[in-house]
Chains A and B, each alone.
Chain A
Amino acid sequence: MPAVDQSPANRSLRSARLRTRVTLALAIAILIPSMYGFAGKFYEFLHLVRGESDGAFAVAPILNYLLASGGFLLLLLWATANGMFHDIERPKHTLLDREQQLDAAQRRK
């Protein structure tokens, strides 16, 4: 049986892979049913606004929702187009590096 590479580099590669897989699995498992239920209800709202007597009632909440979520959808599209999610794990390392830099600068004062 070939020996398993236990070097730190290989271990961190494996843990990064595990993290990506868990993130993807959770994203799919959570977002798809949520979106399904949510979109279904939203579709129903829109029908009511157009037809039924209760429809007028739905206008205010839907407008509020569209106002807030429309803005966020644009932000999501803008962020994706600008590479904000390219190297998705990088910002968490940048945070710690900067904190170290700032603490060191404060100690030097």
Chain B
Amino acid sequence: MSAAETRSEEITPPQDLVDTRLVLWYFVAACVFLLISMLGGILMALQLVHWNPLAGLELFSPGRWRMIHTNAVAYGFLANAFLGALHWAVPRLTMHRVASQALSYFIFLAWQAIVLLTAAGVVLGPSFQDQAWVAEASRNLGISMSLGAQGLEWGETPFWIDPVALLGLLLVAVNFMVPIAKAKGPLYVTLWYFMAAFVWTFLTYAMGNLLPEYTVAGTSAGAIGGLFIHDLVGLFVTPLGWGLMYYFVPIMLQRPIWSHGLSLVGFWGLAFFYPLQGIHHFLYTPIPMFLQHGAIISTIAVELVVTTVVINFFGTLWGQGRAFVDNLPIRWFYTGMIYYFLTCLQCSMQVTLTFQKLIHFTDWVVGHAHLVMFGVFSMWLFGVMTYLIPRLLNRPWYSHKLCEWHFWLSAAGVLVMASDLILAGVFQGYFWAALQPWDVSVVASQPFWITRVFAGLAMFGGFLCFLYNFWMTWSARSHV
């Protein structure tokens, strides 16, 4: 097909298609929460090498900090950065503004309140728990009231925030679905991913936070918890991440994605095979084996689907490899993709029962978590910010060198952290398999945990470079 034939009809974009101020606000909010989360991570890492600077302060006890670390990353950093990028991409892809600008600002403020209240609940909740009025209200309302964290991994948002968070997610879906519904012609793959993410995130959040709290109990609740934690990664973070890559990579490379058909194979594969695989987090638990086997099979199916995505992106880069060196956002994106491939490779091993026997409950999993959450999704979002911030502020980066430092410290830091923890996991697994006392494995883990502190500091240093650069670009001081 010739270029002339494929050329779409000219559509006049509406005035102020993208609210650039809001995109910027979302990025700022994301950075604030990432700063808090990274500090939390460093504190946790220090605690594990017996050097907790906040020892003795109940409010800042490591158990609470750990939840601040994970929740601030998921709902504070990733969600805010994704929302910012969506406010840029959806109107440009559809040529229509979001449903309501006022609603966008309301969602922005409400989302920050939800994240801050979650943090308050996690930190202060347990301290209020013993008060008499809590017990009385619990009796009167007939529900078990735990003011602090909900006892569900990744769903620690206190139960009283859940309905507000669900309402927020519903409003997000409405705000973006209206322009998508107005879009003319066949949809680009990014919009398929986004649409799916809006529906899935709402359903996943409702399932994971409400079912184990109010209906199912025991191991059944465990099974739902398994679906929840994995679906949160696979049905909220993954479709938004892939959707953004399918949008930004062709724009940066100035060439279309290698095969749009293949990208749709990836999308529909994810849609049908992903939702059942969460139980692979709970292999060897009392959850019936047939469910565990089902999760393994659907995981293998998704691994195959992921292959299509990786082939497609590298097919797009083919012949323009130089961009990987010269173009910083492309470098962020493709480094993230290489890490993505590595996490999937790791996943294909860890989903086998043989391998699980060794690595279950070890730091292998923590290494995997950092590789995927930081090495993949955060790197992609840093790439998006590196590209968009100068466009949003209408000026180049204050310092290109600081952009490079950010990239190298992040990419190297997370690689060291993940490899270190993955290796630590293998050692821990063998210690436990050899029936060594628990303490022996803790002592043996020290060198790995010390290494993690330094790797974490490198990642944090990279992020500080980014923050300083962002600040200086915004305040438009002289260029380097």
Which of B186, B223, B269 is the one whose CB lies under 8 Å from A60? B223
Taking a contact as CB atoms under 8 Å apart, the answer to whether B273 and A34 are in contact is yes
List the A residue with the shortest CB-CB distance to B289.
A54
Which of B188, B265, B293, B300 is the one whose CB lies under 8 Å from A27? B265
Cβ contacts B249-266/A at 8 Å (1 or 0 each): 011001111111110110
Which of B251, B259, B276, B279 is the one whose CB lies under 8 Å from A89? B259
Segment at the interface with A among B3-11, B146-154, B324-332: B3-11
User: For the complex, what is the distance from the CA of A98 to the CA of B200, rounded to whole Å?
Assistant: 28
Given contacts A31-B269, A37-B301, A92-B256, whether A23 and B207 have CB atoms under 8 Å apart is no
Given contacts A30-B265, A54-B290, A101-B13, whether A94 and B272 have CB atoms under 8 Å apart is no
A-chain residues with CB within 8 Å of residue B104 when the two chains form the complex? none
Taking a contact as CB atoms under 8 Å apart, the answer to whether A64 and B8 are in contact is no
Taking a contact as CB atoms under 8 Å apart, the answer to whether B264 and A69 are in contact is no
Which of B250, B290, B293 is the one whose CB lies under 8 Å from A95? B250
Which of B92, B196, B297, B304 is the one whose CB lies under 8 Å from A99? B92
User: For the complex, what is the distance from the CA of A9 to the CA of B4, rounded to whole Å?
Assistant: 12
User: For the complex, what is the distance from the CA of A91 to the CA of B261, rounded to whole Å?
Assistant: 10
Cβ contacts A49-92/B at 8 Å (1 or 0 each): 00000100110110011011101100010010001111111111
Taking a contact as CB atoms under 8 Å apart, the answer to whether A60 and B199 are in contact is no
Taking a contact as CB atoms under 8 Å apart, the answer to whether B294 and A26 are in contact is no
A2 within 8 A of B: no
Tally of A interface residues using CB under 8 Å:
55
B224 within 8 A of A: yes
Taking a contact as CB atoms under 8 Å apart, the answer to whether B8 and A98 are in contact is yes
B305 within 8 A of A: yes
B-chain residues with CB within 8 Å of residue A64 when the two chains form the complex? 203, 207, 224, 227, 275
B388 within 8 A of A: no
Taking a contact as CB atoms under 8 Å apart, the answer to whether B290 and A45 are in contact is yes
Taking a contact as CB atoms under 8 Å apart, the answer to whether B223 and A57 are in contact is yes
A-chain residues with CB within 8 Å of residue B293 when the two chains form the complex? 41
Given contacts A84-B186, A95-B93, whether A57 and B294 have CB atoms under 8 Å apart is no
Taking a contact as CB atoms under 8 Å apart, the answer to whether A93 and B276 are in contact is no
Shortest Cβ distance from B180 into chain A, in angstroms?
12
- 326-369 of chain B: CB within 8 A of chain A: none
Which of A20, A37, A87 is the one whose CB lies under 8 Å from B297? A37
B468 within 8 A of A: no
B288 within 8 A of A: yes
User: For the complex, what is the distance from the CA of A105 to the CA of B308, rounded to whole Å?
Assistant: 35
Which of B11, B17, B254, B261 is the one whose CB lies under 8 Å from A96? B254
